[in-house]
């Protein structure tokens, strides 16, 4: 299967523009530009601020407990900004229809930023209004895009995005006392939906990128396995969140299916291509993350180990891998990473290992968690240093976007 996700110009050549002539500030020409940069900057700021919030030296005006603020901002702040930037970029290619740009895109970024500020500086009702509105608007825009293009294949992505918007609203309803549920459960549901989305999108882009990097490579399509892995993952996580019987065996089955699925993409062929192996390695965190959650459901390990394997290793790694690869491609640059990017990848993977270790070995918690946070900050700081100038300037091949 050939996945038409990204159109990359031939490296090193300046092509004549096609389609619409480039117009407006480059930083608002396509969704990936402002949202990738905003997500990376906030990933640094939120993690750097986290120790002060955790220790009570900085108290969110929204009244959120420190752990809830941290988890919400990592999931619905950092990760969702990248998801939106990716979908507003890939969606234009998928549907051949325009996605928000210029003033409309700027307004969406401003709404996202307002939500981040409100989480720290505004009362809970204002935080709910601003932060909740962002994903509702985004989900509506993306659903309309898919509907007008009559693309049933991408309807599932629109459903997951809408579900994330509803989950975020549920979180705020729980915090405000409108709905008597545990806010932490809604955050776990948000992470679960992200893992499902990563399973869907990863199954499209990772094999496609692997084929493009290795001409002649054959990757056999296994749609039944794909459906089984995604379905078992979604069901296992759902059972785990609501603490129903059968969660542990279903999560263990999902872990096996996800590992089997990844093996079919032949990850070993990516070992000399950092821009590719970061995607394989990050996706590989899903299987142990699900396995750790299965052990947690059986009462054998701390829940935090599996949560952070999925949140830092899988989600954080895929975020960093995608915002480097797609930013290079959509600014017309070669798909060959620099030493800075490879260092960022290594820092992110180190952060995942350390954070999971902190959860598994209580005696290591403080030093391992602090080191993990420092490695995370280093990874995204390197990204900002390398990519901020590219994201704010025109494509080097003269094309729009």
Pair 194, 285 in one domain: no
Largest CA distance in the chain: 61
Residue-wise pLDDT tens digits, 316-367: 999 999 999 999 999 999 988 999 999 999 999 999 999 999 999 999 999 9
Domain boundary pick from 208, 243, 276 = 208
Check residue 7 and give its pLDDT. Answer: 38
Q: Which pLDDT score is estimated for 18?
A: 44
Whether 166 and 271 map to the same domain: the answer is no
Work out the average pLDDT over 182-211: 94
Q: Domain for residue 176, yes or no? A: yes
Is 197 in the same domain as 260? Answer: no
Cα–Cα distance for residue pair 342/347, rounded to 1 Å: 9
CB-based contact 131:168 (threshold 8 Å)? yes
| Owning domain of residue 233 | 228-393
What does DSSP assign to residue 237?
A: H
- The answer on 249 and 161 residing in a single domain is no
Minimum mean pLDDT range among 14-18, 22-26, 397-401? 14-18
Q: What is the pLDDT, as a whole number, of residue 25?
A: 82
CA pair distance 22, 29, nearest whole angstrom: 8
Judge if 83 and 130 occupy the same domain: yes
Domain assignment present for residue 218? The answer is no
Q: How confident is the model at residue 238 (pLDDT cuts 50, 70, 90)?
A: very high
Closest CA to 258 of 233, 276, 295, 292: 233
Do 204 and 68 lie in one domain? The reply is yes
Out of 173, 208, 243, a domain closes at 208
Is the CA virtual torsion 171, 177, 180, 182 positive or negative?
positive
- Work out the mean pLDDT of the chain and round it to a whole number: 91
* pLDDT at 12 exceeding the cut of 60: no
- Find the mean pLDDT for residues 48-53: 96
Per-residue pLDDT, averaged over 132-146, amounts to 95
pLDDT of residue 79: 97
Whether residue 173 is found in the same domain as residue 280: no
Q: Is residue 381 in a domain?
A: yes
Residues 40 and 174 in one domain: yes
Query: End of a domain among 176, 208, 240?
Result: 208
Q: Judge whether 245 lies within some domain.
A: yes
Residue 2 counted as domain residue: no
Specify whether 278 is located in the same domain as 149.
no
* pLDDT at residue 20 tops 60: no
Total number of domains constituting the chain: 2
Residues 6+ apart with CB under 8 A from 180: 174
- Tell me: do 204 and 240 sit in the same domain: no
Tens digit of pLDDT for each residue in 276-306?
999 999 999 999 999 999 999 999 999 999 9
Asked if residue 103 belongs to a domain, the reply is yes
Do residues 155 and 183 both lie within one domain? yes
Residue 23 has pLDDT above 80, yes or no: no
Does 4 reside within a domain?
A: no
Between 90 and 172, where is the model more confident? 172
């Amino acid at each position: 299967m050939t996945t038409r996700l990204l159109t990359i110009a031939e490296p090193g050549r300046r092509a004549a523009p096609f389609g619409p002539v480039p117009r407006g500030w480059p930083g608002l020409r396509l969704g990936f530009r402002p949202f990738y940069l905003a997500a990376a900057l906030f990933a640094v700021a939120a993690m750097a601020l986290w120790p002060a919030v955790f220790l009570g030296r900085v108290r969110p005006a929204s009244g959120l407990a420190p752990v809830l603020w941290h988890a919400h901002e990592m999931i619905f702040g950092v990760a969702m900004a990248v998801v939106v930037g990716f979908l507003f970029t890939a969606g234009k290619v998928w549907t051949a229809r325009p996605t928000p740009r210029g003033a409309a895109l700027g307004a969406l970024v401003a709404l996202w930023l307002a939500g981040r500020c409100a989480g720290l500086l505004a009362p809970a009702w204002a935080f709910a209004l601003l932060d909740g509105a962002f994903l509702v608007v985004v989900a509506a825009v993306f659903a309309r895009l898919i509907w007008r293009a009559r693309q049933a294949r991408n309807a599932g992505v629109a459903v997951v995005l809408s579900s994330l918007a509803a989950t975020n609203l549920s979180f705020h309803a729980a915090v405000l006392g409108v709905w008597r549920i545990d806010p932490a459960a809604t955050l776990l549901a948000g992470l679960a939906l992200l893992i499902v989305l990563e399973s869907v999108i990863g199954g499209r882009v990772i094999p496609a990128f692997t084929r493009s990097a290795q001409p002649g490579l054959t990757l056999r399509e296994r749609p039944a396995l794909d459906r089984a892995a995604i379905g078992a993952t979604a069901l296992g996580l759902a059972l785990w969140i609501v603490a129903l019987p059968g969660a542990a065996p279903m999560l263990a089955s999902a872990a096996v299916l996800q590992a089997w699925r990844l093996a079919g993409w032949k990850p070993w062929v990516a070992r000399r291509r950092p821009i590719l192996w970061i995607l394989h390695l990050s996706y590989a965190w899903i299987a142990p993350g699900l396995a750790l959650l299965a052990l947690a459901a059986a009462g054998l390990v701390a829940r935090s180990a599996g949560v952070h394997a999925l949140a830092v290793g899988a989600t954080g790694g895929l975020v960093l891998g995608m915002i480097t690869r797609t930013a290079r491609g959509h600014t017309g640059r070669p798909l060959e990473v620099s030493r800075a990017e490879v260092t960022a990848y290594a820092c992110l993977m180190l952060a995942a290992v350390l954070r999971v270790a902190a959860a598994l070995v209580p005696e290591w918690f403080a030093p391992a968690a602090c080191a993990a946070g420092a490695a995370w900050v280093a990874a995204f700081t390197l990204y900002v240093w390398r990519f901020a100038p590219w994201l704010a300037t025109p494509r080097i091949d003269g094309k729009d976007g």
